[in-house]
Amino acid sequence: MSVMQKLHKLVPTSGKVLAFFIPLLLWGIWWAVSGIGYMFSTTEWPEISPSVRSEIVAVKADPAFNNPNASESDKEKLETLKGRVLALAIVSRLETELADGWTPQYLFVTPKSHFDNAVNRKLGVLTATTLLQKFFSTTMAKYGSMDPENPWMQEARERDFTYGPRIWGFFERSSNSAYEDGVANVHKYADKLISMKVVNKKKGDSRAIVNIKASEIYDMLTFILSKNFIDVPLGWLSAPGGTLTWSELDDRVYFAQGMTLVLRDVITVLKELYPEKITNVDKGGTQNLEEAMMAMNKICTFNPMVVLRGKEDSMFADHRGKMARYMFTVRERLLDVADTIRR
C-alpha cells in the first residue's frame, strides 16, 4: 500500500471536506471584503492632485514670482522651481495610482481584476505619464538637442516607464516596482534641480537642468495635440460603436479619463506658473484655457453608474460620445491656446 493510500485512510472524510472548504471560504470572504472596499473608493476627481496644488502654492509664494524688480539670480532660481513642479506634476497622478494598488497586474482571483474601472484608468494614467515624461526629458531637461539627457530621467524613460503594465513579478521585476522606480528617478532629478543631495554612486554627481521658455511650452502643447498623445484617447472614443462590446465601451471611457487626469495636472501648472507664456488676454488665450480646464474637469468627474451605448434615436445616453465631445473640446481649446503663443 502506497504512502498516499495510507494517509487517505488515516484522515477522516470530514477532515478532507474541511481542508477543501475552509480555504475556499476564507478566499470568498476576502474577495467580498475587497469588492465592498472598491465600492467606497474614489471615482471622481474635481480637483488636481493635492501634491501638485501644494507645490504650485509654494512657488507662487516666492518673492520673485511676478516681481519685475527681482534680481536675475532670484529669477533664475524661480524658473528652476517652476520647472521642478512641472516635472513632478507629470508623475504625481501615477504615484497616487501606485499607492492605491496597481490593479492591471492583479491576478484574476482578485475582484478588482474583474470589476474595477481603475484598471483602465490606471492604464490611461500610465500612457500619459510615459509620453509626457519622455517629452520633458528630451526637450525641457536640457539646453539644446546636443546636450546629454539627465541620467535619472533617461533611466525612467528607457527602463522604468516602458515596462509592461501586467507583469506580476514572481520571477522578475513587477510592473508596480518598475513604475515606482521610475517615479523615484524623476524625484531624484527634481531634488537635484534645487541642489538637494542625491546619493547614487553609479551616476555620481549628475547635473540636472531645466529649460522652459515660450517655445518649449508651445512645443509641449503641439505634442499634446498630436496624434501621439490626445489622438490616442480620441481614436478609442471615436471608433464605430457597433463594433464594440459593452466592456470595451467602459474600458475606453475610463482610459480617456486616466490620460486626462495627468494632462489636467500639467496644464494647471502651465496656467498657474507660466501665465505670461501661455496666456494672451488680447488674443483669447485666457478664455480658451479656462474652457479647456472646464472640459477636463467634466472628464475627471465623469462617473455614470453604467456606461451606455445609446445611439441615434435611442432613449439611453451615449456616454462614450459624451466623453469624446469633452475630449474634442479640450483639443480645440488647447489648439487655440497654442495659436496665441505662436502669434
Alpha carbons within 13 A on the beta-carbon side of 321: 11
Per-residue pLDDT at 232: 93
Residue 194 resides in a domain: yes
Per-residue pLDDT at 7: 46
Residue 302, all three cell numbers: 465623469
Residue 81 resides in a domain: yes
Residue 322 resides in a domain: yes
End-to-end CA distance of the chain: 91
**Which of 71, 76, 65, 85 shows the shortest CA–CA distance to 276?**
65
With contact defined as beta carbons under 8 Å apart, do 56 and 85 qualify?
A: yes
What is the Cα 257 distance to its own chain's centre?
Answer: 10
Largest interatomic CA distance in the chain: 95
Residue 7 resides in a domain: no
Segment 282-327, tens digit of pLDDT: 566 788 999 999 999 999 999 887 777 666 555 566 778 889 999 9
| C-alpha–C-alpha distance, residues 337 and 225, integer Å | 11
- Enumerate residues 6+ apart whose C-beta is below 8 A from 145: none
Q: Categorize the per-residue pLDDT at 102 as very low, low, confident or very high, splitting at 50, 70 and 90.
A: confident
Domain that holds residue 290: 28-342
Residue 4 resides in a domain: no
Rounded (10°) angle between helices 50-60 and 72-99: 170
Per-residue pLDDT at 173: 84
Segment 124-167, tens digit of pLDDT: 999 999 999 999 999 999 988 788 899 999 999 999 999 988 88
Rounded (10°) angle between helices 285-300 and 319-342: 150
Residue 85 resides in a domain: yes
Domain total for the chain? 1
| C-alpha–C-alpha distance, residues 287 and 279, integer Å | 9
- Helices and strands per DSSP (H, E), number in the chain: 14, 0
Per-residue DSSP letters for 126-185?
A: HHHHHHHHHHIIIIISSSSTTSPPPHHHHHIIIIITTS-TT---SSS--HHHHHHHHHHH
Residue 207 has pLDDT above 90, yes or no: no
Amino acid at 299: I
- Enumerate residues 6+ apart whose C-beta is below 8 A from 237: 252, 253, 256, 320, 321, 323, 324, 327
Residue 179 resides in a domain: yes
Residue 333 resides in a domain: yes
Per-residue pLDDT at 47: 94
| C-alpha–C-alpha distance, residues 148 and 178, integer Å | 23
With contact defined as beta carbons under 8 Å apart, do 79 and 277 qualify?
A: no
Q: Categorize the per-residue pLDDT at 5 as very low, low, confident or very high, splitting at 50, 70 and 90.
A: low
What does the mean pLDDT of the chain come to?
83
Helix (H) or strand (E) holding 29: helix 13-39
Residue with grid cell 480637483, as numbered in its chain: 47
Residue 39 has pLDDT above 60, yes or no: no
Residue 318: phi, psi to the nearest 5? -100, 85
Per-residue pLDDT at 293: 96
Q: What predicted TM-score, i.e. pTM, was given to this entire model?
A: 0.85
